[in-house]
């Protein structure tokens, strides 16, 4: 059986083009979700740091309490925006 190489190459190119379009859109979505997750993890780390700093001396001042609550509110808000 004889297969024309030009037809075969055109078919392969078409399949690769469709695959690139499909995977390109998936990559864009994954890249966006990774950026959002990174933002959430940064806020989560900041909230943990605020909590850790506040409890280091076994006392939580009103200012520290306010900082902790605000930090965790940011984490919760960011998480809700993701899901």
Q: Is the pLDDT of residue 7 over 90?
A: no
pLDDT band for position 28 (cuts 50, 70, 90): confident
Mean confidence (pLDDT) of the chain: 90
CA–CA dist 54, 6 (Å, integer) = 71
CA–CA dist 82, 75 (Å, integer) = 11
Q: Is the pLDDT of residue 62 over 90?
A: yes
Contact at 8 Å (CB) between 75 and 44?
A: yes
Segment 11-36 shows an average pLDDT of 90
pTM for the complete prediction?
0.68
Contact at 8 Å (CB) between 46 and 70?
A: no
Domain positions in the chain? 5-82
């Amino acid at each position: 059986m004889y297969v024309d190489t030009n037809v075969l190459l055109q078919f392969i190119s078409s399949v690769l083009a469709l695959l690139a379009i499909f995977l390109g859109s998936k990559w864009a979505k994954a890249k966006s979700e990774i950026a959002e997750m990174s933002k959430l993890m940064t806020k989560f780390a900041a909230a943990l740091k605020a909590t850790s700093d506040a409890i280091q001396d076994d006392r939580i001042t009103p200012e520290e309490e306010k900082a902790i609550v605000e930090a965790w509110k940011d984490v919760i808000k960011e998480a809700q925006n993701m899901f």
